[in-house]
Chain A
Amino acid sequence: MIDNFLLLFQAPTVAVQTLIDGILIGAILALAAYGMALVWGVMNIINIVQGELVILGGYITLTLANMTGIHPLWTVPIAAVVMYFIGYGIYKIVIHRVVDEDMFISILATFGISIILQQLMDQVFGADIQSADTGFDSWGYLDDAITLSQIHVISLVIVIVLATFLVLYLKRSKMGRAIRATAQDARAARIMGVDTDHVYATTYALNAAICGAAGSLVVMTWIIHPFLGLAYTVRSFLIVIVAGLGNMVGVIIAGLGLGAAEQYASFLIGIEFRVAFVFLLMVVILIWRNILLSKERRYLK
């Protein structure tokens, strides 16, 4: 561990590379997390199936690229659209039955869907480790001491474009306004003539579309597997509890921060503690939030 720490100073390029890797990973995590924040904020549902939706998006890209031979990058919007309808379907079949229930029930329901999706993906796509090559190279600097993978950079750009689009959509469009109104007070929104059921369905479908796009990027940059979804669920959850709900900028910053923190942690204390680190961070942040909250309550008394 000390060796690793010293290495950061002996070879500053390593520190820079770790930061770059972390931020580029964080961007994709932030995208998935934003979808989770949206569903959580609007519908009060913690969407445990988030990671599986991401992986499913990856499989859509993979299938399209293998079947039609088009470049995987062009499948990002297609994956998003397909996932939109899948999300809509999941809402109509399961989620709308639990949306007004206790949070515990919705957690159970989405957990159930995640298991079903895992097994379905396992049956349909097989359990091989999959990835799609984009044919893009990496830029190397300082005699390849620092490298910047082009597909990672393209992913970052896509994430930024999508994030901007989402912010504008929620701010400017009629549906966006309805979503925000429902998030603030569903009952009041209903009284004002907002079709909240439709808003919920759209929100959930939108989240699935976001996950689809994220998964599309994941399969081009890393690997996917039917059972790798949990990694994205846990990280999305962590980012959301750090950033809070309905805060796009916060989610992006928390996402990038988590990506970088994770990279540094696995560099310094060892990659085997990477997931442990994420969970530890989650616990610490939850405790911290709780302390803040209790202070506030005392003040109100």
Chain B
Amino acid sequence: MSFYRKLSFMALSTAAVALLAATPADARVDGDIITLGAALSLTGKYTTAGNHTKKGYELAIKSINAKGGVKVGGKSYKLKMKFYDDESNPARGAQLAERLIKQDGIKFMLGPYSSGLTKAIAPVTEKHKIPMVEGNGSSRSLFNKGYKYLFAVLSTANQYLEEAIPMAAEYAKMKGKKPSSVKIAMAFENDPFSQDVRLGVIEKAKKFGMKVIIDDKLPPEINDMASTLNKVRALKPDLLVVSGHSKGAALVIRQRKQMKVKVPLLAITHCESAKVNDAKKYGKGAAEGTLCATQWAPDMSYKDRVFGDAPNYTSNFKKAYGYVPPYQAAESSAAVYVYARAFEIANSFDSAKIRQALADFNEETFYGRVKFAPEGNNIAKPMVLRQIQNNKYVPVAPLNAAVGKLQIN
């Protein structure tokens, strides 16, 4: 009766596995330590941004712990992070999320870097009903799946370069032309984030009746975009919009200068991570006049209890890591902060209660106001557009946050 023997063996081993899986359920809060889990891109194509994310998380945890930690039920808890390297690979990210939840007993997840990875991990956290607060996945497709446990502190990807369109309209008016006469050239990487940025731009352009004359998709392993710039030179658009993470930003800045391509307005993402105003990398003034989309800028005036205001956060970050925090770091810190506040508001470690606290969250952080839509995206914070003027970032849009005026060369 080997069949029955097999069957009973299987039943036994299943029970054993179930038991094993059940034991570490309390690992999330161990003594006075709350462990947050994360998959981080420490190698692979998102290494740069992945490290910003990691530092953002670490600084927030350090700062919160230094301020007395998280108070739940009259007791003070310290935060800790458990993370694995996801190699910038979505499939790996999903595996690691399973591992964090099932093996390590993590009950509170922080997001990975990039929309692609968040998209891979969200179904896992959703399945296990584990809240995930993330600051680095802004693709719209994350917020139309009906996820209940996903909360993003950042503005969605489609908002990134939207502001460039009213700007182009303004430019047309300055030239005595109609906004609908504006011609737009676009080059977006073929990934969820950049394609969402593209959709936002297209939708906004439609409202003004503007025409898209170039619509290129950049491959992920791009190392040259001369052919796109060549088209731009021949077709003379008024506005060139490019988004392809750091690589796309670096290439357009470098090759625009090399090829002497003149376009009145250039709007891109990832200026900070590509360090586009670094003269050693791209030459003097290579990025002059470029409009850069940013989630957050160090000179903004938002405040919270732990970090003080944005300039204060910036100086703390600089002291710890030796460079000015890019927004990828700030939004990661904000995610940890929001989590910590949610524990306090819920006054419990029950997932459902914490989820509710997050859903009702409405507070200002050093990163901007955070209030989640039912879909999980932050609807209280606008995107900022900064122009590089005399090699410095000057916020020019939206108008209420603007420090300087748009310059056209």
Taking a contact as CB atoms closer than 8 A, the residue among A7, A130, A140, A222 that contacts B251 in the complex is A222
Question: Interface stretch among B5-13, B219-227, B340-348, B359-367?
Answer: B219-227
- Closest B residue, CB atoms, query A266: B227
Chain A interface residues toward B at CB < 8 A: 4, 7, 10-11, 13-14, 17-18, 21, 25, 66, 119, 122, 126-133, 135, 138, 140, 144-145, 147, 149, 151-152, 221-223, 225-228, 230-231, 263, 266-267, 270-276
- In the bound complex, what is the Cα–Cα distance between A10 and B216 (angstroms)? 20
Task: Decide: B223 and A18 in contact? CB cutoff 8 A.
Answer: no
Task: Decide: B224 and A18 in contact? CB cutoff 8 A.
Answer: no
- Closest B residue, CB atoms, query A273: B219
> How many B residues touch the partner, as a band?
35 or more
Task: Decide: A223 and B247 in contact? CB cutoff 8 A.
Answer: yes
- In the bound complex, what is the Cα–Cα distance between A171 and B249 (angstroms)? 45
Residue from A122, A129, A225, A270 with most neighbouring chain B CB atoms (10 Å): A129
Task: Decide: B222 and A271 in contact? CB cutoff 8 A.
Answer: yes
Task: Decide: B280 and A66 in contact? CB cutoff 8 A.
Answer: yes
Task: Decide: B48 and A128 in contact? CB cutoff 8 A.
Answer: yes
Taking a contact as CB atoms closer than 8 A, the residue among A4, A13, A126 that contacts B48 in the complex is A126
- In the bound complex, what is the Cα–Cα distance between A131 and B279 (angstroms)? 10
List 16 contacting pairs A-B, 8 Å CB cutoff, sorted by A: A7-B235, A14-B230, A17-B230, A21-B224, A127-B50, A127-B51, A128-B273, A133-B279, A144-B260, A145-B233, A222-B223, A223-B223, A226-B47, A271-B218, A274-B227, A276-B219
- In the bound complex, what is the Cα–Cα distance between A50 and B254 (angstroms)? 25
Known A132-B281, A138-B259, A147-B258: A222·B227 in contact at CB below 8 Å: no
Known A226-B47, A228-B221, A271-B219: A21·B230 in contact at CB below 8 Å: yes
B86-118, CB under 8 A of A: which get 1 and which 0? Answer: 000000000000000000000000000000000
Task: Decide: B281 and A25 in contact? CB cutoff 8 A.
Answer: no
A25-B226, A223-B247 given. 15 additional CB < 8 A pairs?
A4-B231, A14-B231, A17-B259, A128-B48, A129-B48, A129-B274, A145-B233, A149-B258, A223-B223, A225-B247, A226-B47, A267-B227, A271-B227, A272-B190, A275-B219
Interface presence of B405 (CB below 8 A): no
B252-284, CB under 8 A of A: which get 1 and which 0? Answer: 001101111010000000000111000111110
**Chain B residues with Cβ under 8 A from A227's Cβ?**
44-45, 47
Known A7-B235, A223-B223, A223-B254: A133·B259 in contact at CB below 8 Å: no
- In the bound complex, what is the Cα–Cα distance between A132 and B258 (angstroms)? 13
- In the bound complex, what is the Cα–Cα distance between A227 and B294 (angstroms)? 25
Known A66-B280, A222-B251: A138·B219 in contact at CB below 8 Å: no
- Closest B residue, CB atoms, query A133: B283
Known A127-B48, A271-B187: A228·B223 in contact at CB below 8 Å: yes
Interface presence of B43 (CB below 8 A): yes
**Chain B residues with Cβ under 8 A from A4's Cβ?**
231
